[in-house]
Amino acid sequence: MATQQSQVIMRPQGIAAHAQSQEKERFAHPHRVMLGLYVGAFLGMLSETSMNIALPNLCDTFGITTGIAQWMVVGYMLAIGIVLPCVGFLLKWVKAKTLVLVALSCFLVGSLLSAVAPAFALVLAGRIIQGIGTGIVLPTMYAAIMRVFPPQKIGAANGVAGLVIMFAPVIGPTLAGLIIGAFSWRAIFMLFAVVAVVAIACTAATFVTPIETTRPKVDALSVLASVIGFGCLVAGVSLVADMGFSPLVVALLVIGVLVVACYAYRQLHIANPVLDLRALGIASFRTPALMVPARSPARWRSCTLLHRSCNVAWD
C-alpha cells in the first residue's frame, strides 16, 4: 500500500521533471529558435530604408509627383505605427508562431503585389501590407527573447537583435542602388520576397511558441483609440519633413497627442489593457524603452536628407 502511494506521489513529480527537461531541450539553442524572427526583423528594417533610393524611379515609371511617391515611406511607417501597439494583445489571443508566420506571409504577399503592380496605388497597397508584417515581427521578436533566453543572457540577446536591426539601414540604400542600377526598382521587391520566403522557412522549422495565450477580453475603444492616436502621430511626424508645420500636419499631431493621452489614461484604469503602460514604472525597463525611440528620429532624418539629395539631381 505504501509503495502504491509513493508511486502516485512520484508520478506527478516525474511528469513535471519530464516537462522541464523538454522545455530546456526546446530552448537549448535559443538563437536557432529566433532565426526566423531575426531574418524577418532584418527584412523589415531593410525595406524601410531601401525604398528612399527607389522613389525617383517610381516617379518616372508612374508619372507621379515626389509628394505622392513619398507615401511609399509614409504609408509603410503608418502601418507599423498602427499595428505595433496592438501586438502585445494579439500575442495573448494567437500563438506566437502562427502570428509570425501570418506576418511574414503578409510581407511576402505585399512584396509580390508591389513587384508586379501596374499602377502606383497597388504598389502602395503592397507597401502598406509589408508595414503590417513588420509591425508584428519587431515587437514579437523582443517578446520572444524574454522567454526563449535565460535571464542572464537576455541583455546579450537584445544586443544581437539590435545589431540585426541596425545592420539593415547600413546596407539598405547601397544595396537598393546597386539593384536599381543593374535591374529596376521592381527587383527590390523581388529581393524582399525571396528573403521573406527564407524567414518563413526558418520560422516554420525552428521557432517554438514561448508565449501563453490567455485570450483576455477585447476593449474595442482602446483598439480604436490606438489606431487613431498612433496613426495621426506617425502620419504627422512623417509629413512634417516635406510639408513643414502646415495646418494639416499640426492638426494630425494635435489629434494624435490628445487621443494617445486618452488612450494611455484608459490603459492605466482598465483590467485588461491593450498595452500595459504600468511597465514604464520600472526604471530598468523604462530607460531602454525610451532610448529606442530616441534613436529613431536621427535615423529617419538621415533617410530624409538622403532622399532630398536624390531629389536635387532628379528634379
CA 11 to chain centre: 44
pLDDT band at 128 (very low <50, low <70, confident <90, very high): very high
Question: For position 290, what pLDDT does the model report?
Answer: 58
Q: What is the three-class DSSP state of 69?
A: helix
Could you read off the pLDDT of 250-266 as tens digits, one per residue?
898 999 899 989 988 88
Question: For position 147, what pLDDT does the model report?
Answer: 85
Could you read off the pLDDT of 216-258 as tens digits, one per residue?
787 888 888 888 888 888 888 877 777 778 888 889 899 989 9
Phi-psi region of 120 (alpha: psi -120 to 50; beta: other; left: phi over 0): alpha
The torsion angle over the Cα atoms of residues 116, 119, 120 and 124, rounded to 10 degrees, is -50
Question: For position 10, what pLDDT does the model report?
Answer: 43
Exposure b/e, 210-246, CB count within 10 A at least 16 = b: bbeeeeeeebeebeebbbbbbbbbbbbbbbbbbbeee
C-alpha cell, 295: 534613436
Dihedral pair phi/psi, residue 215, rounded to 5°: 50, 60
16 vs 257, more confident: 257
Name the H helices within the chain: 2-26, 30-33, 35-62, 66-69, 71-83, 87-90, 96-116, 120-148, 154-182, 185-206, 220-243, 247-267, 283-314
Dihedral pair phi/psi, residue 217, rounded to 5°: -70, 140
C-alpha cell, 264: 494611455
pLDDT band at 280 (very low <50, low <70, confident <90, very high): low
Residues 6+ apart with CB under 8 A from 126: 109, 110, 111, 112, 113, 114, 115, 117, 189
How large is the average pLDDT for residues 87-100? 87
pLDDT band at 297 (very low <50, low <70, confident <90, very high): very low
pLDDT band at 283 (very low <50, low <70, confident <90, very high): low
Exposure b/e, 74-105, CB count within 10 A at least 16 = b: bbbbbbbbbbbbbbbbbbeebebbebbbebbb
How large is the average pLDDT for residues 67-83? 86
Dihedral pair phi/psi, residue 167, rounded to 5°: -70, -35
- Which range is least confidently modeled, 1-10, 128-137, 148-157, 213-222? 1-10
